[in-house]
Homo-oligomer: A and B are copies of this chain.
Amino acid sequence: MNKYELSFNEDVFKYLQLYRHLKKMIDNGEIEGEEKLLSIREVSTLLKVNTVTVVNAYKKLEQEGYIVTISGSGTYARKKDVFRMYKKDYSDTFKRLPSERLKNMIDFAGETSSSDLFPVGTFKEVLNEVLDRDGSDALIYQEMLGFSGLRESISEHFWEDSISYEDILIISGAQQGIDIISKVMINPGDHVIIEKPTYSGALSVFSSRRAKVHEIEMLKDGVDIEAFEKVVRKIKIKAFYTMSYFQNPTGVTYSLEKKMKILELANKYDFYIIEDDYLSELIYDKSIEYKTFRSLDYNNRVIYIKSFSKIFLPGIRLGYMICPPLLKEAVQNAKVNSDIATSSLMQRALDLYVRKRYWQEHIKFLNGEYNKRYIHLEKAMKEILKDKVSFNSPGGGLNYFVKINNKITVNSTELFYRCREKDVLITPGGMFFKHFEDGDNNFRIGFSQVNEEQITKGINILNEIL
């Protein structure tokens, strides 16, 4: 039987049945990404249906991004990338809507700092100061590892000189760090452990390197260490990707014991720890102590990646990496091969911003602001959503990870689309899992883009839908 064939039933429009059949095949890989589909005429003949039926099914698939028609060539299935698709869907939301409606949008999905909290004036001041001070150098001159001034600032202000500026490599954001280290250490078929759930952008890179990815459940103090040890004992793994503070999306912070245990395993079983320290500047619960895997590393097992985009300004695309000595050379090569170097002007501006202590002031300010929202959101969810959902308090970061309780029948993808109709944006849990459906009962709710009034309003809308 040809895979396009299906037995139609009488209750549903034929085009819808055909659409669902094809969609399912694309989803489960029976129709592969970039595979050429049968022509409309061919399908119509094969299934003995009107061409209009096939046209309508194809149209719907195209609208939803499952297929693409190239004039003069044919129709093709699209290689799906849930990370990108969702990102696109998220940003398209803003593009599609009239600005009137946009103003009322309640964005619990945004991951980056709110624009009203950003000191554009101060940053503009340092930008201009850099242009006056360095002239054309700021726009021309490039250093292999990044602007040495910024590397010195990072060494001094963020590491109290415990890391030499020569060991710091400037990168264009954390995503590039994950990409670079994957280029250096992950070959097709290599094994990698990730947290379950985790940041989809990392998962996406590992998959594109054709790594075998093992998900280990997140508990309240980090990954399930017994399950973890079972994997590393059985399989030679190359790396473990982790966010040690306010993990994305769970908000979990690792206990010191768990970090020490994982470092011990990394030594014993010879794997690297890729630590994505993405939001540790925002600590509301003062009992949380800041000790990264990197600072505890006693035998060169940790690759440390830090983004400035998340907390500061996504548009500046800056971050840095610290690597064990043996990997340094290869990592530098991979950076040069990736994009030669990171934009020089932005590095100089950030350097001056840090040296003038604006950075430190700004982080303090953000901690105060976000703490208010953090408390307000928690209170609103507890009071309004009550037992419809459950969640833990992360104690820092920019979001809560929420579980929809069992008696509620709506799954998180439906919830995403139904919220969006009401101008509320959340992130469906599936985004953070290897298998999308594993996140059906979870969603992430962030508070970086919303003020207190919007939080209350948004949670009330969520409540109605749930």
Q: Which residues of A contact B (CB under 8 A)?
A: 33-34, 68, 70, 73, 76, 78-79, 81, 83-84, 87-88, 91, 112-113, 115-116, 118, 120, 123-124, 127-128, 131, 135-144, 172-173, 175-176, 179, 183, 187-188, 201, 204-205, 208, 300, 309, 313-317, 325-326, 329-330, 332-334, 336-346
Contacts and interface: CB of A to CB of B under 8 A. Distances in A.
Given A172-B172, A315-B344, 10 more contacts: A83-B336, A84-B332, A112-B140, A113-B140, A115-B136, A123-B139, A127-B127, A176-B338, A316-B343, A343-B346
Contacts of A300: 70, 73
Contact of A317 (B70, B309, B341): B341
B338 A317 contact: no
B315 A142 contact: yes
A429 to B, nearest CB: 20
A116 B332 CA distance: 30
B140 A315 contact: yes
A342 B317 contact: yes
A81 B328 CA distance: 13
Contact of A143 (B91, B143, B208): B91
Given A140-B115, A140-B315, A142-B315, A343 B340 contact: no
Nearest to A90: B144
Given A135-B120, A340-B175, A345 B316 contact: yes
30 contacts: A33-B330, A73-B326, A76-B326, A79-B333, A81-B333, A83-B336, A84-B144, A84-B336, A87-B336, A88-B144, A112-B140, A113-B140, A115-B141, A116-B136, A124-B131, A128-B128, A139-B313, A139-B316, A140-B313, A142-B314, A172-B172, A175-B338, A176-B338, A179-B337, A201-B336, A201-B340, A204-B336, A205-B337, A315-B343, A345-B346
A75 to B, nearest CB: 11
Contacts of A140: 112-113, 115, 118, 313-315
Contact of A201 (B83, B188, B337, B344): B337
Nearest to A147: B315
Contacts of A339: 172-173, 175-176, 179, 317, 338-339
Contacts of A340: 173, 175, 201, 309, 314, 317
Which 3 interchain pairs have the tightest Cβ spacing?
A: A315-B344, A176-B339, A139-B315
Copies in the complex: 2
B179 A338 contact: yes
A190 to B, nearest CB: 12
Contacts of A332: 84
Contacts of A135: 120
A165 to B, nearest CB: 14
A329 to B, nearest CB: 5
Contact of A70 (B205, B326, B342): B326
A156 to B, nearest CB: 20
A188 B84 CA distance: 25
A338 B338 contact: yes
A353 to B, nearest CB: 12
Of A70, A142, A173, A340, most buried by chain B (CB within 10 Å of CB) is: A340
A341 B336 CA distance: 17
Contacts of A175: 336-340
Nearest to A335: B84
A358 to B, nearest CB: 14
Nearest to A112: B140
B139 A325 contact: no
